[in-house]
Amino acid sequence: MFLKARRFSRTRMAAAGLAAVAMLATACGGSSAQNDANKDTLVLPGPSGDMQANFNPFVPTLLEGPGTIFEPMFFFNNIRDVEPRPRLGKTFEWNADGTQLDIELRDDVKFTDGQKMTSKDVVFTLDMIAKNPGINGTNYKGVATAIDETHVSIKFSEPSYMDGPQVLGKIYIVPEHKWKDIGNPATEPLKEPVGTGPFMLEEFKAQAFTLKANPDYWGGEPAVKKIRYISLSGNQGVVDALKAGQIDWQTGPVPDIKNVEKNYPGYKAITTPLNQVALFTCSNAALGCQGPQTDVAVRKAVYYAMNRTQINALAFENTASEVSPGAALLERDKDQISSELKEKTAPMQPDTAKATQLLESAGYTKGGDGIYQKDGKPLAMTLKVVAGWTDYITAVDTLSQQLQQVGIKITAQQLSWNEWSDARGQGEFELLIDSIHQGPAPDPFYNASYFFSTATTAKVGEVANPNFSRFSNPEVDAALTALKGIDPEDDAARQPYFDTIQTEIEESIPYIPVLTGGITSEYNAKKFTGWPTKEDLYAFPALWARPEASEIIMKLKPAGQ
């Protein structure tokens, strides 16, 4: 069956879209980005600093792989209500009560080491995820069975409609013969990946690595013959490389974003509101979080003390927009936004009186230095940000000054991406700035199930994925469970559970909402054709979105082809 945004038609999905697809592409380094010799090489920015080889698609610290090296069974568009596109799968169908999902697989897929992919690899992957909470970011609880080489049946103990896009679109199939001896798939780095995808690893060095087109890919060899990822020093390094024509696609801010085509000849830009910028708090003292941010009064004071209009102007060139305190997207999810929220949107202007009242009612008193304190401890917190993320660094610096005015001291701490990511996963932080991402289909259920479910968090010191705030609320958990069992066509039956989720999130705000990020990408339109447009958003256009980036790369062709 097709699963659209919130629509799960029960008709069997036709094996559409299985024709050979045009593949990944783009430029290279220096002025050679325009050279004919590199016309089918896509050059992209990788993490800053020395990179560590890790292509494990299930860990937060991976470099690359989901969609390019490893594939899901289907691709779901999470910003448009459209039919999913088959990848390793051909068709899927739910039974009448949503307790069994039957999948038909392609019969012409090989791993890059030449071995055939079968239903056994799918079942192995699903079983491995079910047995390892550290990699079970979708909270998968099904029991999979290989019916024959091309058919898999997954049974659930309860109606589980909402698991469909996650299982089918966000789980990457790995070869049993390579993974069966991996000790801990949640932590073990993968240096020599073997997958089914349109690309395979060609070369790895600490400052750059290259994927090459898979000549035996089931969809045909990609039009983009190589993807080269190069290490650049943060956002400014990326902007400089873009200006020099050394990279072909990047997602992030550039100065004077409105005039990209003038400032970067040959390049164009697209901005899409999707992910929500937030201050992640290690919020749950019961799971080991420590610091003032474990007090909901402090989190709410920060929420009200922000001048979001100023942050948007200074950090995001006014490309961001308002955000809901209930974590659903204001535009995409407008029909599911709860009418029971106290505030439909987070205030764009600070409410200093409200912030002060919250703190003083919770027992905080202002010291001689102007900073609030309680039990002899100042209201001071460290906010972690990735070095080189200039937009977030500006947001943090601006926010620190704003909070200082209401008696809250914030100290920014810039870390390498690896250090920041490790701290985020382990819960070794008070505050950090990041974005809450969306799920595989355009439905607020997924955002909630990822970031606000007890099942996707862990004690401090253990890896949480992706409920990094350690938020745990039995009412939210019960609402998420109930939503899994309701036919997504039944909006009236679903809404009370969305009301519960959103109002509980607003009350606790473990992720303090900043703004809905206007995700902007700049891309080399002179070198490649096939990029998404506002009229044709066939995939969310963000370089770091997986598997969305692979869908875009597979649409690209060198100009003139």
pLDDT computed for residue 561 by the predictor: 77
Q: How many domains are contained in the chain? A: 1
Sign of dihedral through CA atoms 178, 181, 183, 186? Answer: positive
Among 448, 440, 389, residue whose Cα is nearest residue 66: 440
Residue 180 structure tokens: 């069966």
pLDDT (tens digit, 9 = 90+) per residue, 473-491?
A: 999 999 999 998 888 888 9
Q: What is d(CA 92, CA 262) in angstroms, rounded to the nearest whole number?
A: 47
On whether residue 296 sits in a domain, the answer given is yes
Residue 224 near residue 236 (C-beta atoms within 8 A): no
Helix or strand or coil: residue 422?
Answer: helix
Residue 30: pLDDT above 70?
A: no
Q: What is d(CA 336, CA 327) in angstroms, rounded to the nearest whole number?
A: 11
Residue 6: pLDDT above 60?
A: no
pLDDT (tens digit, 9 = 90+) per residue, 48-58?
A: 788 899 999 99
Q: Which residue has the tokens 């050059």?
A: 43
CATH code of the domain covering residue 373: 3.10.105.10
pLDDT computed for residue 532 by the predictor: 96
pLDDT (tens digit, 9 = 90+) per residue, 238-257?
A: 889 999 999 999 998 788 88
pLDDT computed for residue 29 by the predictor: 38
pLDDT computed for residue 38 by the predictor: 85
pLDDT computed for residue 398 by the predictor: 98
Beta-ladder partners of 212: 200, 226
pLDDT computed for residue 41 by the predictor: 97
Give pTM, 2 decimals: 0.73
* Mean pLDDT of the region 331-349: 95
Average per-residue pLDDT in the chain? 90
Dihedral angle, C-alpha 227, 233, 239, 243, nearest 10 ° = -70
Residue 522: pLDDT above 90?
A: yes
- From the number of C-beta atoms within 10 Å of its C-beta (0-12, 13-18, 19+), residue 375 rates as exposed
Helices and strands of the chain, counted as H and E runs? 14, 21
On whether residue 372 sits in a domain, the answer given is yes
On whether residue 135 sits in a domain, the answer given is no
Q: What is d(CA 269, CA 219) in angstroms, rounded to the nearest whole number?
A: 29
Helices 308-316 and 390-404: crossing angle in degrees, nearest 10, is: 150
pLDDT computed for residue 237 by the predictor: 87
* Amino acid, single-letter form, for residue 424: R
Strands 208-213 and 85-86: unpaired
pLDDT (tens digit, 9 = 90+) per residue, 347-401?
A: 999 999 999 999 999 999 999 999 999 999 999 999 999 998 889 999 999 999 9
Residue 31: pLDDT above 90?
A: no
Residue 378 structure tokens: 């100042």
Helix ranges restricted to H, 188-283:
234-243, 260-263
pLDDT computed for residue 37 by the predictor: 59
CA distances from 459 to 174, 288, 450, 470 (A): 28, 6, 16, 7
Residue 65 structure tokens: 């792989």
Residue 24: pLDDT above 90?
A: no
pLDDT computed for residue 149 by the predictor: 97
* Amino acid, single-letter form, for residue 301: A
Helix ranges restricted to H, 306-342:
308-316
On whether residue 213 sits in a domain, the answer given is no
Residue 28: pLDDT above 50?
A: no
On whether residue 96 sits in a domain, the answer given is no
pLDDT (tens digit, 9 = 90+) per residue, 534-543?
A: 899 999 999 9
Helix or strand or coil: residue 139?
Answer: coil
| Confidence grade of residue 36 (pLDDT, cut at 50, 70, 90) | low
Helix or strand or coil: residue 498?
Answer: helix
Residue % of the chain over a pLDDT of 70 = 93
Q: What is d(CA 545, CA 561) in angstroms, rounded to the nearest whole number?
A: 26
Sign of dihedral through CA atoms 528, 553, 275, 499? Answer: positive
* Amino acid, single-letter form, for residue 275: N
Residue 208 near residue 229 (C-beta atoms within 8 A): yes
Extended strands (E) in 214-290: 226-231, 249-251, 267-281
Length of the chain: 561
Residue 522 near residue 528 (C-beta atoms within 8 A): no
* Mean pLDDT of the region 514-520: 92
pLDDT computed for residue 4 by the predictor: 32
On whether residue 31 sits in a domain, the answer given is no
Question: Residue 485 sits in which domain range?
Answer: 276-518
Residue 517 near residue 276 (C-beta atoms within 8 A): yes
pLDDT (tens digit, 9 = 90+) per residue, 415-464?
A: 998 899 999 999 999 999 999 988 888 899 999 999 999 999 999 999 99
On whether residue 437 sits in a domain, the answer given is yes
On whether residue 462 sits in a domain, the answer given is yes
Strands 208-213 and 199-205: antiparallel
pLDDT (tens digit, 9 = 90+) per residue, 252-289?
A: 878 888 899 999 999 999 999 888 999 999 999 999 99
Helix or strand or coil: residue 537?
Answer: coil
* Mean pLDDT of the region 195-204: 97
